[in-house]
Structure 1
């Protein structure tokens, strides 16, 4: 099976094997893809074997129906001999001023609840005061930009020693990364996964038993903060139908209180 690496498809590889790899990854037959894209199974077969060169419109149409990430859609176009369709604008570019301002207002509006924005590599591009309060006490070496949310969470000198249900939360984060790797097929993300998965887990890390039973509606992160155990659940949102690679890879994560005690404490947290 052809390996697709994020942003590395070349014209010499040809677009056919790359499209076939994405189709097989999505477990879609040639016939099913043809029906979705208003084409024929024969034409899809010819494209995948290199007997037919797809138009730019067809490449984009197939990529859309295969849910190929925006960055990899550009790679498919390059492999087919076309120019990239989606720009990749640096977040500090004046063209994205509206995006930056919107992000800042959004995460600021969540205070006192912690909220942050990360890119495809889980590097933090914006964070509100609630997040920075959670990071209190973390060594400066781990807070040097680019600050990586996953590395900081699972590092033995980061938040990991304070997470009372570390094994469960760690499993959740690693599974989330595995899903992202399957979606994006990024070697850089795979390298980050290998790094954080190798971090040692203390023998004492286990499941925190709350003083009073709590019926959580989602997996919580139980984290110690200034002598208290706070309980959060994570909510993640992305931009709808992005037309820029940078914007497509941004995700807003909010930590919502998972029990009344945490909600009450947060109301006085940043006052």
Structure 2
């Protein structure tokens, strides 16, 4: 197991921050931080927590840094069905239902589907059965040639949008498993050069359905003030119609389902 000093140096390199800058952010001295990184001083639990926060680590990464320093984890990791998170799960279910007739999903790391509302069928329509076997990976389903990909009119741009978000996460929190997943997804996305009209993050999803073509924008919500690892790692992705025609198609689908 690596030492807390080695971990601090690694995270400083990833964040591209100097000892002096990190010490100032964490309310300590560069000398003390240097001693910690070199193994000449064992940091107290409070300073480890402040250093982790100053580095912008995830709750899981903060627990790992505490473990490297010889301390117990501060942040719990509960199952979504456990009593501690049951009120959160109930609230999420209400949010998902309230977003109808538009699709909304709750995703765990690597795109694993945790929950969705009934409008998710607009995304899963026509997908190969093996891609719908739980636990469903929605990011794989969105880009896979046997999933949504044949119905996505702007697969190169949409796929680049998905991949760019994952790569940004991988740069911030390096993870070999995530790197492998990104490499897999990249193999599904057409390698088309970025043209002069590329709008970066502003990439509506153009999706063909049996009821008509859709243009959807998505909003990602993270639970930034969570103190439970499981909750902090969840993402709520809500899709919205980018035009009236798309809203009408989604309302039609919902009316048919309700009827």
TM, length-normalised to structure 2: 0.91
Q: Hey, what does 2:7 align to over in structure 1?
A: 18
1:29-60 superposed Cα distances (whole Å, 9 cap, x missing partner):
21111111111111111111211111111111
Q: Hey, what does 2:254 align to over in structure 1?
A: 270
Cα 1:92–1:137, aligned 2, differ >3 Å: closer, same or farther? same
Superposition map of 1:119-268 within 5 A: 119-199=108-188, 201=190, 218-226=202-210, 228-268=212-252
* Structure 1: distance between partners of 2:112 and 2:15: 27
Q: Which ranges of structure 1 fall in alignment gaps of 5 or more residues?
A: 1-9, 208-214
TM, length-normalised to structure 1: 0.87
1:161-218 superposed Cα distances (whole Å, 9 cap, x missing partner):
1000000011111111101112222222222112222236499xx99xxxxxxx9x93
Q: Could you tell me how far 1:227 is from its partner in structure 2? A: 5.4
- Whether the aligned pair in 2 keeps the contact of 1:156 and 1:200 (CA below 8 Å) is no
* Structure 1: distance between partners of 2:231 and 2:243: 33
Do structure 1's residue 80 and structure 2's residue 69 form an aligned pair? yes
* Structure 2: distance between partners of 1:91 and 1:187: 26
Q: Could you tell me how far 1:120 is from its partner in structure 2? A: 1.4
Secondary structure in 2 matching 1:121:
helix
- Whether the aligned pair in 2 keeps the contact of 1:156 and 1:201 (CA below 8 Å) is no
- Whether the aligned pair in 2 keeps the contact of 1:16 and 1:47 (CA below 8 Å) is yes
Secondary structure in 1 matching 2:254:
coil
Q: Which ranges of structure 2 fall in alignment gaps of 5 or more residues?
A: none
Q: How many residues align?
A: 250
* Structure 1: distance between partners of 2:191 and 2:130: 21
- Whether the aligned pair in 2 keeps the contact of 1:23 and 1:66 (CA below 8 Å) is yes
2:36 to 47, 60, 66: 47
Over the aligned positions, Cα root-mean-square deviation in angstroms equals: 2.0
Secondary structure in 2 matching 1:39:
coil
* Structure 2: distance between partners of 1:133 and 1:262: 12
- Whether the aligned pair in 1 keeps the contact of 2:159 and 2:189 (CA below 8 Å) is no
1:55-104 superposed Cα distances (whole Å, 9 cap, x missing partner):
11111100101100111111111111111111111112122111110110
* Structure 2: distance between partners of 1:73 and 1:91: 21
Q: Could you tell me how far 1:261 is from its partner in structure 2? A: 1.2
* Structure 1: distance between partners of 2:28 and 2:127: 55
- Whether the aligned pair in 2 keeps the contact of 1:231 and 1:259 (CA below 8 Å) is yes
